[in-house]
Structure 1
Amino acid sequence: METIFNYFENIPSLHRSIILVGGITFFWLLEGALPLFRFSYHKWKHAFPNLFFTATTVVINFALAFLLLSTADWVKANDFGIINWLPEMSTGAKIVLGVLLLDFFGAYLPHLVEHKVKPLWMVHLVHHTDHKVDTTTANRHHPLESMIRFTFTLFGVFIIGTPIAIVMLYQSMSLIFTQFTHANIKMPKRLDKVLSYVIVSPDMHKIHHHNLLPYTDSNYGNIFSVWDRLLGTYMYLDREKIVYGVDTFPDEKINSNLWELLKQPFQKYRKPTVSGKSE
């Protein structure tokens, strides 16, 4: 554990880039071999807006990274935060607890809030209006959402008291998991179900991308499934019944156009429905 801690404490930017590009490449190839849905689409054309938003997310996180480093250094120097207030623990225990809590503050909590606060839902809508969910959908986040999520992560680092090594490990794990859970891959249902008791599995997350309530407002987790199960937001739907998108924004052509996606947060609020009747 000490080796892992030391590596992520000084992880080179090149290695983080390899994790990003390598993950997309790996799951892109796996989708071709083991597809869950056999989409009829031009994959590169579909990927273009998604990869654009991936790039903007990278730029925003890189530009604001000094805030994460400064906060992590401050909580360490001042012995501040949950981890530092608890009795002394091993490095391994500190890593597990830190990643688990960052997964709540940096992923589950902002995701839940984005679904419950109308203006934030319109920002998050860009992620949900993909009609062909695959691994490139993972970081299909409007730049405004990237900043929102960064803010929650920064708050989490402050409250938890996580050193920069755990922050970098969490972000690396988060990146791989979101590519994994969005990837258009078909796993054995029994294996997927078993995995979902500990981590967010592909089928579990894809339920969240169903176009109707209440499924759209469920399964908010990113790495660990414990938060959904503990807080009552876990739901199950057979994967054959999943229809991607948002029923109140059904135009796939518009939802595939980069300029239209950039404008989506500023449209009139429309929440997904249960029966197709607008709310």
Structure 2
Amino acid sequence: MENIINYFGSIPTLHRTIILVGGIAFFWILESVAPLFDFKYKKTKHAGLNIFFTLTTILVNFPLAFILVKSSDWAVASDFGIINWLPEMPIWAYALLGLMLLDLIGAYFIHWLEHQVKWMWMFHLIHHSDLNVDTTSANRHHPGESVFRFIFTTIAVVITGAPMWMVFMYQSISVVLSQFNHANISLPKSVNNILSYFIVTPNMHHVHHHYTQPYTDSNYGNIFAIWDRVFGTFRNLEKSQLIYGIDTYMSPEENEHIGPLLKIPFGAYREPENEKFKTKQ
């Protein structure tokens, strides 16, 4: 465990890049060999659009990274945060609890919030507008959404009291799990039934990308599947019933081009059939 801590405490930028690119490449190949859906799309063109948003996320996060480092250093130096207030425990338990808290606040909670607050939803629905969900869809986020996701990651680091080795470990696992659970693959039912009690699987997360509610507002988790079960947001849907996209933006002219996608948060809100924000502002 000490070797793992030392590695993530000083993980080179090159290695973090390899994790990002290597994950996409691995799942890209896997979904080409055994796809869940036989999409009738130009896979390279689709990837190019989503990789554009991957690059904008990197451009947003890179100059802000020092805030994350300073926040973590302050929490550790001040003995602040949940894991620093608990009794002494084995390092593996310390790491697991920290990762779970980071995932809860920095992934599950902000994701749930994006579905509850109208202006946040206007940014987030760019992610949901993808009609052909595959591993590259994991990184399809509007630059504006990348900003407030970064803010909540920083809040998670402070509340958790996570040292930087734990933050880097969390981010690395988060990247790979997101690519995995968006990938156009399906696990055998028996395997999924077991795994989905521990981590978010493709079978579980694809339900979240169904084009209408209540499925859109379910299965928010990224790494740990427990949070959706704890907070009652877990749902199942058979593959045969899945339709990707978001009901208010089903036109390829709007969801397959960079310009229209970047403008969506600043346009008029389109009310879905069940009036998602009629009483929520």
Q: Partners in 2 of 1:41 and 1:82 — Cα distance?
A: 47
State the match for 2:184 in structure 1: 184
Paired letter, 1:114: E
User: Aligned pair in 2 of structure 1 residues 127, 271: CA closer, same or farther (>3 Å)?
Assistant: farther
> Which region of structure 1 is more displaced relative to structure 2, 192-201 or 212-221?
192-201
Query: Between the two proteins, what is the percent identity of the paired residues?
Result: 55
Runs of 4+ in 1 over 2 A off after TM superposition: 270-274, 276-279
**Root mean square deviation of aligned Cα:** 1.5
Tell me the TM-score normalized by structure 2: 0.96
- Please say if residues 198 and 224 of structure 1, whose CA atoms lie closer than 8 Å, have aligned partners that are also in contact: yes
Paired letter, 1:173: I
1:180-226 Cα offsets, whole Å, 9 max, x none, are: 00000122122122211111010100000000110000000000011
Paired letter, 1:69: V
* Shift of residue 253, structure 1, vs aligned partner: 2.6
User: Aligned pair in 2 of structure 1 residues 195, 277: CA closer, same or farther (>3 Å)?
Assistant: closer
Paired letter, 1:174: S
- Please say if residues 193 and 201 of structure 1, whose CA atoms lie closer than 8 Å, have aligned partners that are also in contact: no
Paired letter, 1:74: W
In the alignment, structure 1 residue 227 sits paired with structure 2 residue 220: no
State the match for 2:99 in structure 1: 99
User: Aligned pair in 2 of structure 1 residues 277, 208: CA closer, same or farther (>3 Å)?
Assistant: closer
SS in 2 for 1:70: helix
Q: Partners in 2 of 1:67 and 1:17 — Cα distance?
A: 20
State the match for 2:6 in structure 1: 6
Q: Partners in 1 of 2:48 and 2:273 — Cα distance?
A: 29
* Shift of residue 272, structure 1, vs aligned partner: 4.0
SS in 2 for 1:216: coil
User: Aligned pair in 2 of structure 1 residues 35, 109: CA closer, same or farther (>3 Å)?
Assistant: same
SS in 2 for 1:159: helix
State the match for 2:249 in structure 1: 249
* Shift of residue 278, structure 1, vs aligned partner: 11
User: Aligned pair in 2 of structure 1 residues 179, 272: CA closer, same or farther (>3 Å)?
Assistant: farther
> Which region of structure 1 is more displaced relative to structure 2, 83-92 or 173-182?
83-92
Structure 2, unpaired ranges of 5+: none
- Please say if residues 72 and 164 of structure 1, whose CA atoms lie closer than 8 Å, have aligned partners that are also in contact: yes
State the match for 1:166 in structure 2: 166
> Which region of structure 1 is more displaced relative to structure 2, 35-44 or 248-257?
248-257
Paired letter, 2:219: N
Paired letter, 1:53: F
Q: Partners in 2 of 1:179 and 1:270 — Cα distance?
A: 29
* Shift of residue 25, structure 1, vs aligned partner: 0.4
- Please say if residues 207 and 215 of structure 2, whose CA atoms lie closer than 8 Å, have aligned partners that are also in contact: yes
Q: Partners in 1 of 2:213 and 2:193 — Cα distance?
A: 22
Q: Partners in 2 of 1:272 and 1:222 — Cα distance?
A: 25
Q: Partners in 1 of 2:84 and 2:146 — Cα distance?
A: 28
Paired letter, 1:14: L
Within a 5 Å distance, the mapping from 1:116-265 to structure 2 comes to 116-265=116-265
User: Aligned pair in 2 of structure 1 residues 160, 267: CA closer, same or farther (>3 Å)?
Assistant: same
- Please say if residues 124 and 141 of structure 2, whose CA atoms lie closer than 8 Å, have aligned partners that are also in contact: yes
* Shift of residue 264, structure 1, vs aligned partner: 1.1
1:219-251 Cα offsets, whole Å, 9 max, x none, are: 000000111000000011112210000111110
- Please say if residues 212 and 247 of structure 1, whose CA atoms lie closer than 8 Å, have aligned partners that are also in contact: yes
Q: Partners in 2 of 1:38 and 1:278 — Cα distance?
A: 34
User: Aligned pair in 2 of structure 1 residues 206, 273: CA closer, same or farther (>3 Å)?
Assistant: farther
User: Aligned pair in 2 of structure 1 residues 277, 16: CA closer, same or farther (>3 Å)?
Assistant: closer
* Shift of residue 273, structure 1, vs aligned partner: 3.7
User: Aligned pair in 2 of structure 1 residues 271, 187: CA closer, same or farther (>3 Å)?
Assistant: farther
SS in 2 for 1:87: coil
Q: How many residues align?
A: 278
In the alignment, structure 1 residue 46 sits paired with structure 2 residue 46: yes
